A and B are shown apart, each in its own frame.
Chain A
Amino acid sequence: MAVDPTHVKQNDPRLKLKQSDVDFARERQAALRTHFGFSDFHPGQAAALDGLQHGRDVLAVLPTGSGKTLVYELATYLLNRPCLVVSPLLSLMQDQVGRLNQRGERRAVAINSMMTPPERMQALQRLDQFRFIFTSPEMLLNNDVIQALRRLQIGLLVIDEAHCISTWGPDFRPAYRSLGTVREALGEPLTLAVTATADHQVQTDIEKVLQLSANHAVVRQSVDRTNIFLNVMRFTSRKQKNEALLTLVESSKKPGIIYFSSKKQADEWAQRFQVAGINAASYHAGLEATTRFSVQQQFMLDRLQVVCATSAFGMGIDKADIRFVIHYHMPSNLLDYVQEIGRAGRDGQQSIATLLVAPGDAQLPADLADLQLPDKATIGRVYAEHQPVLQSDPERLVGYYKEHGYGMDELIELLAKRLQSRRLALRKLMQYIDEPDCLRKNLLAAFDESAPSHDDHCCANSATTMTLSSLDLADDEPRVNLQLPDWQTQMRQLFSEKFIN
């Protein structure tokens, strides 16, 4: 644990150590000001940095919105050695590189599947020019990548979304399982594993797979976000739910995000909102990169009121003043739910998370829990063939286990356990929806935390009605009529006074 520098006494026998704690605290405070222009850390950031400054590996369980990227960015400046960030999503990597560029940090690169082999080779050859290197766990299975990283002597290894390591977690990624070996190959550099959420089983898994040093620090921050009002609304039909969504979005203070489980519905609803005079756009993996960029930037510049997103793709949006997050579809577990609603109210202002439920809604996540796992026929086929063709995700998953020496029965048992844990996770979500009392209490209990006592700004379960105005979250902005400027006006905006007509 970090030592509060104000409590250091002159006659303390461990003065020397305490003195260095004070230095560390000063050092990181100064770096925060220099590199980010902030004077205060979010809760959890200082503790995680303190561990790293002491040379201890850190497992940081920090909720979405608590600024986990700042932890490794600052640590990298303090360590003054290159930082390798392992990230699960291509889009996430690009966002992070983009954000570093935006902050004026040009020495960032993403080594990923977007690069052609010659480009990758070239980037690997000049790797020493970069301070931040982002890559995927799959990319780290390539020997040339590992060799290049070895030459570099990584100062800090960051495992982002570390819960993907755990077969118990909902987002398990086989290649994450190899990160322990990768860490060893890189000479066991100082390691920071970050995740927004990890129960004890997932935590143990992360520690075991990464082989974190015995004295590693675990920094945990409550998943509770007190400024987010929790709300569940239940309807008797899909039609009723649709009407309620439109009314709710029209009457809510914006900006906001609405999560859908399908791209098609995200698209359709964005259109509906536009027809209703709400400035909305969809945002998901099916869109071209330039479209995603425009939507993201419009949202950041307050030109968009509502983004209709699919859950896999809210990750790039980092906006502090999001006032509501609505789930039109059910997430598959509370872990995902907490991550997604965490995008609201990062500025600390009152915000609201609403989950809309209609009959039959639970079927989709239930089917998904079963579907995404390989069935016995697939397992049998992949194990029987000498060089099986692995096309679907389930096939690749089986292929991975086979390659890593798992027996067929062992795998079947493992998958059965995962299915069980997924169903359990879904059951917990259903209990949240059905909660007759305090939603926050229910949510926090699922993460082994206790909740503050319920009040007017806490929650409204499915039997209670909430009023937006009492939360000061009613829409008070007049509708703006969007007029597309002519090309000359737009060119003048684009090119400042240098525009010559």
Chain B
Amino acid sequence: MRSVKLTPTRFSAGGYAVDSEFLYALLSTTQTRRPKVIFNCLRGVKTVSILYWSLRYGLLSWLNTVPTVSWEEFTNAIETLKNAGRIVENDDDQLLIVDDGQSQVELVTQLYPENLRERASEVHQRQLIETTLLAIQATSQQSYQAMQYFPLSVTEQARKQVRRWFRQPQQQPLSQAITNWLQTLSAADAQLFVSQLVGHEHPGLTFTQLASQLDQPEWQLRLRQAANWMSLVNFAEQLPPQDGLHALIKPQLHDRLSKSVRDTLAGVLQGYSREAISSRRRLKFSTVSEHLLTAAILLPMEDFPYQKCLTQTDIKSLLASEPANIDDWDFNQQEAVTDYFTFRLVQIWETKNGR
């Protein structure tokens, strides 16, 4: 009988996506960061405050990348880093890296490249995974003429979508489209993706199982797999609309801005003032402002009409009166008399200009 070391276990209790090493990659040695902002950013919460601070932290590309993260696992990760003396928490509950440990930013970006994780805020991830897995399961069982099987339990919405999709004529078999896509990945990533698929006599492996078989921490596999899903989304989107994979995945995508934000933005582009939009659309004035700030944060600079919302005077007077570090600007203490919208928008403008 082999002997096995029993105590203490070095494994983090299973199933967690946000490991302390992952969290470490989202913290800074120079900028104190609020854990609540990072947590809500990962979950995809789109309030102006969360979006703005995510932008300031340079973490906006992580928006909605781990929608299932729980506060418990998140705080566990914080505690682990604090207990190891690698981060400190200031009086304002903000976190700062204090050790000179190796930065994990490069590693997490390698696992989940920025161009892929940026897509996460445009995808209904749970719906994407459930419909795709169920469609693959149904197709797999059908290829064996096995009509009696235990279906994946998914939401009613996902089940209906797959059922509808399954009845449509397929231009190319789903297996072919998936294979074509897998060929664009590294052999290791393709293996990881396929290992979690469910089908005929192929029950799929869990992250925990894969972590021990591939000898890579679970949280790293989770990031790699998330990147795979976004890569699949990109691939499917470029297929012709009548393609089965395209038809399966298209309904899981959405604009990164809500319809209401888009409508407000369109109003500004047509030359209406915030007041006019507010009364025309019967929205609170503050809501209109929030819509525009949301759009300014989430859109590339060239897609937002800064010149229609800000004047050079606004920018200059704030820059003259506020501290050099934008993080230290305080709306309630400001000397240049401006409204909250202008104040925030200047901060966004300056941040996007590299400050």
Interface residues of A (CB under 8 A from B): 94, 98-99, 101-104, 114-116, 119, 123, 239, 242-243, 246-247, 250-251, 263-264, 267-268, 270-272, 274-277, 281-282, 286-291, 293-298, 300-301, 303, 482, 484, 486-487, 490-491, 493-501
Contact = CB atoms under 8 A, between A and B. Distances in A.
Nearest to A479: B2
A288 B68 contact: yes
B156 A116 contact: yes
B15 A288 contact: yes
Interface in B163-212: 173, 175-176, 178-179, 182, 187, 190-191, 193-210, 212
Interface stretch (B47-55, B142-150, B277-285): B142-150
A295 B7 CA distance: 26
Contacts of B203: 293-294, 296-298, 300-301, 303
Contacts of A102: 148-150
A487 B194 contact: yes
Contacts of A490: 191, 194-195, 197, 202
Interface string B303-323: 000000000000000000000
A246 B4 contact: yes
Contacts of A496: 140, 143-144, 200
Interface in B122-164: 129-130, 133, 136, 139-140, 143-144, 147-157
B202 A493 contact: yes
Contact of A491 (B7, B178, B204): B178
B190 to A, nearest CB: 4
A499 B178 CA distance: 10
A264 B14 CA distance: 7
Contacts of B13: 263-264, 267-268
B9 A272 contact: yes
Report, nearest first, the 9 A-B pairs whose CB atoms are least far apart: A297-B203, A267-B14, A487-B190, A495-B175, A496-B143, A294-B204, A494-B199, A94-B153, A487-B194
B157 A116 contact: yes
A487 B182 contact: yes
B214 interface: yes
Given A243-B6, A276-B2, A500 B179 contact: yes
A494 B2 contact: no
Interface of B: 1-2, 4, 6-7, 9, 11, 13-15, 68, 129-130, 133, 136, 139-140, 143-144, 147-157, 173, 175-176, 178-179, 182, 187, 190-191, 193-210, 212-214
11 contacts: A242-B7, A264-B13, A272-B9, A275-B212, A276-B2, A288-B15, A288-B68, A290-B204, A303-B203, A487-B190, A490-B194
B6 A491 contact: no
Contact of B208 (A114, A242, A281, A296): A281
Contacts of A291: 15, 206-207
Contacts of B195: 484, 490
Given A94-B153, A274-B209, A289-B153, 12 more contacts: A98-B150, A98-B151, A101-B149, A115-B155, A246-B4, A263-B13, A287-B14, A295-B206, A493-B201, A496-B144, A496-B200, A500-B176
Contacts of A239: 6-7
Contacts of B149: 101-102
Contacts of A270: 14, 208
A359 to B, nearest CB: 17
A271 B179 contact: no
A486 to B, nearest CB: 6
A498 B173 contact: yes
Contacts of A243: 6
Contacts of A281: 206, 208-209
A486 B187 contact: yes
Contacts of B11: 267-268, 271
B6 A272 contact: yes
A295 B191 CA distance: 19
A268 B144 CA distance: 37
Contacts of A101: 148-151
Greatest chain A CB density within 10 A among B11, B15, B190, B206 is at B206
Nearest to A287: B15
Greatest chain B CB density within 10 A among A282, A286, A296, A494 is at A494
Nearest to A277: B2
A290 B158 CA distance: 13
Contacts of A498: 143, 173, 175
B150 A491 contact: no
Given A270-B14, A494-B202, A495-B139, A247 B208 contact: no
A196 B331 CA distance: 65
A83 B7 CA distance: 52
Given A494-B175, A495-B140, A286 B15 contact: yes
Given A246-B6, A494-B136, A271 B14 contact: yes
Contacts of B190: 487
A484 B213 contact: yes
Contact of B191 (A98, A119, A303, A487): A487
A484 B154 contact: no
Contacts of B194: 487, 490-491, 494
